[in-house]
């Protein structure tokens, strides 16, 4: 049985029901722990699931912030320091990573509160998550205000990248399934992955081939 919902139906839903439903429409998605430091030296850590590819040359990554109607420590720290880290979430610490979404009081480090070890690498001015298998250090480039709902897109450039050498394929692919990194769904669900396949570059009038 197919359910059909219209915009009016969605607008009339109970708030949390609608949040769960609409958050699922963007499907399975990446989850990253974002590490920052404020100008008092407090390390902040938060889980984000709206992080997306913008381009490879230069290497740019976008992410979405909720409206700034309440304090957003991660956003404020990125603006004041100019630097932040993205750290992929491993299946072994999903619960701790989800816990970083709690609204801790200002001055509390989610690293400590949730059991993560911060680590500083390559003189980069934001904390990485020691336990994360893939760590990315970014610098702030630009931002855009989305008029329709007051969210903010921040664009960052990759400055540093750390990953286990054995997951790098000969053509530059990162075989993330070998690291135990998870995907998210909606606001509160996490998934493990198994590879269906990698496919050849698609050309008109030639069927795509499965490579591996």
Q: Which of 33, 34, 94, 129 binds a copy of itself (CB under 8 A)?
A: 94
Region of 37-45, 74-82, 158-166 interacting with a copy of itself (CB under 8 A): 158-166
Closest CA to 124 of 166, 76, 156: 156
Q: How far apart are the first and last CA of the chain?
A: 36
Question: Encoding tokens for residue 63?
Answer: 């992410």
Residue reference for tokens 């740019």: 60
Q: Which of 68, 106, 130, 191 binds a copy of itself (CB under 8 A)?
A: 191
Judge contact between 110 and 104, C-beta under 8 A. yes
Question: Encoding tokens for residue 46?
Answer: 């938060």
Q: Which is nearer to a copy of itself, 22 or 80 (CB)?
A: 22
Smallest gap from residue 28 Cβ to a copy of itself (A): 4
* Window 108 to 147, contacts with a copy of itself (CB under 8 A): 108, 113, 121-122, 134, 136, 141-142, 144, 146-147
22 contacts a copy of itself (rule: CB under 8 A): yes
Judge contact between 123 and 111, C-beta under 8 A. no
The rounded distance, in Å, linking the Cα atoms of 194 and 156 is 29
* Window 65 to 84, contacts with a copy of itself (CB under 8 A): none
199 contacts a copy of itself (rule: CB under 8 A): yes
Q: Which of 72, 76, 81, 186 binds a copy of itself (CB under 8 A)?
A: 186
């Amino acid at each position: 049985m197919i359910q059909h919902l219209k915009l009016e139906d969605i607008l009339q839903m109970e708030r949390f029901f609608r949040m769960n439903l609409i958050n699922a429409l963007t499907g399975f998605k990446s989850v990253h722990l974002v590490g920052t430091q404020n100008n008092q030296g407090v390390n902040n850590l938060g889980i984000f699931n709206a992080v997306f590819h913008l381009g490879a040359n230069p290497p740019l990554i976008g992410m979405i912030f909720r409206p700034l109607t309440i304090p957003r420590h991660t956003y404020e720290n990125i603006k004041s320091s100019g630097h932040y880290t993205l750290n992929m979430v491993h299946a072994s610490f999903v619960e701790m990573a989800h816990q970083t979404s709690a609204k801790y009081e200002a001055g509390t480090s989610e690293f400590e509160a949730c059991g993560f070890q911060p680590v500083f690498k390559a003189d980069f001015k934001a904390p990485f998550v020691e336990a994360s298998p893939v760590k990315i250090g970014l610098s702030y480039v630009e931002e855009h205000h989305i008029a329709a709902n007051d969210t903010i897109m921040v664009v960052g450039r990759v400055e540093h990248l750390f990953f286990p050498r054995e997951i790098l394929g000969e053509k530059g692919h990162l075989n993330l399934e070998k690291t135990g990194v998870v995907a998210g769904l909606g606001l509160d669900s996490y998934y493990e992955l198994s590879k269906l396949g990698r496919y050849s570059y698609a050309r008109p009038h030639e069927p795509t081939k499965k490579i591996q």
